[in-house]
Amino acid sequence: MKHFKKLCMFASAALLLTACSTSKSAEPAKESAPAEIDYSQEIVIYSNSTTDGRGEWLKEKAAEKGFKISYVDISGGELADRLIAEKNNAIADMVFGLNNLEFNRIKDEKLLVKYSPEWANEVDATLGDADGYYHPIVVQPLVLIGNAKADMPNDWTDLTKDSYKGTYGISGLNTGTSKNIFASIVSRYADEKGDLGISDEGWEVAKKYIQNAHTYAQGEDYISALIDDSNPLNYSMMWGSGVLQNQAERGYKFQVMSPKVGVPYVTEQVGILSTSKKEALVKEFVNWFGSAEVQKAWSDDFGSIPANKTALEGAKAEIKEFASSVKSQKLDWEFIGENISSWVEKAELEFVE
């Protein structure tokens, strides 16, 4: 009998312990609090859009919001290469300014973090990455500007005429603006049987376009030359915000060529690098940088066309006017992306004198 009572007591205790254990496991798990962001850490930014005072401006405004940043300005043609080369010994935490073609190269190397910023619903999602690895900041039409008294050509292809030799300037093909304008010209002559997918006519146009041009030396003040009526350099390639910024700084109104086919539009993007150990902090910075308030201020001071629709609504009248004065050229960016490196290599080897 005593053994039976002990057995019952043991069984009751076991049931009680089981019940207690079940009750505890049924309680919902508490979510851990998000890690506190350390604003004392420095965010290292690689960009091709920090020249002409932009980098200093960004550093100052960021500091007012408690962010500590440093930036490295690298040309658009070299920036993606630099990030890929540093993949296993990364320095940068984020990158902005590159277009979709260059960002796709970085994405293919798995160097970007998938992220939706707080302002994602304020921009046209089709301008960015469909998978959410980079997002649009600034829209840049790439144009030809001219001296106020010059007779403007109607299209880039007009520059292949002998009469334009030495009258227009271009940047080296390793720069983003020059590379994309070159691609927008060459890709018009697509021919699957041609060399690198381009017809013989297309390569002849490309050759004359490059050899008729004056290629700028590093640090050359081509804007001063352009507005000097006695200088033979009457025309220059330029990105959209550069047009408006130089007009404001020089007190000069350029002519802007508007071809019937349109001009190439590129969209500057922002992305967070997967190699960064400061992801939470960088996300906060991107939320701030891409906001309507900051992008409007960026636009006001540097003449950019914001991708943020709310910022564009409040932009200066001259920016809205410029944005509506040139239409976007219809381009096969997939075709361009697959071939642009080969096109540039051919041009540099065979056409650049």
Domains in the chain: boundaries: 42-140+266-321, 141-264+329-351
Q: What rounded mean pLDDT belongs to the chain?
A: 90
Q: Which two tokens stand for residue 180?
A: 């994309």
Calculate the CA dihedral of residues 47, 48, 53, 58 and round it to 10 degrees. Answer: -20
* Cα three-residue angle 274-176-253, rounded to 5 degrees: 125
Q: Is 141-264+329-351 in the same CATH topology as 42-140+266-321?
A: yes
The pLDDT tens digits of the residues spanning 143-185 come to 999 999 999 999 999 999 999 999 999 999 988 899 999 999 9
Q: What is the pLDDT of residues 288-334, one digit of tens each?
A: 999 999 999 999 999 999 999 999 999 999 999 998 889 999 999 98
Which tokens hold the place of 88? 């296993």
Topology (CATH level 3) of domain 141-264+329-351: D-Maltodextrin-Binding Protein; domain 2 (3.40.190)
Could you give the CA distance from residue 86 to residue 88 in angstroms, rounded to a whole number?
Answer: 6
CATH architecture of the domain formed by 42-140+266-321: 3-Layer(aba) Sandwich (3.40)
Tell me what pLDDT residue 76 has.
86
If we measure between CA atoms, which residue out of 323, 330, 213 comes closest to residue 264? Answer: 330
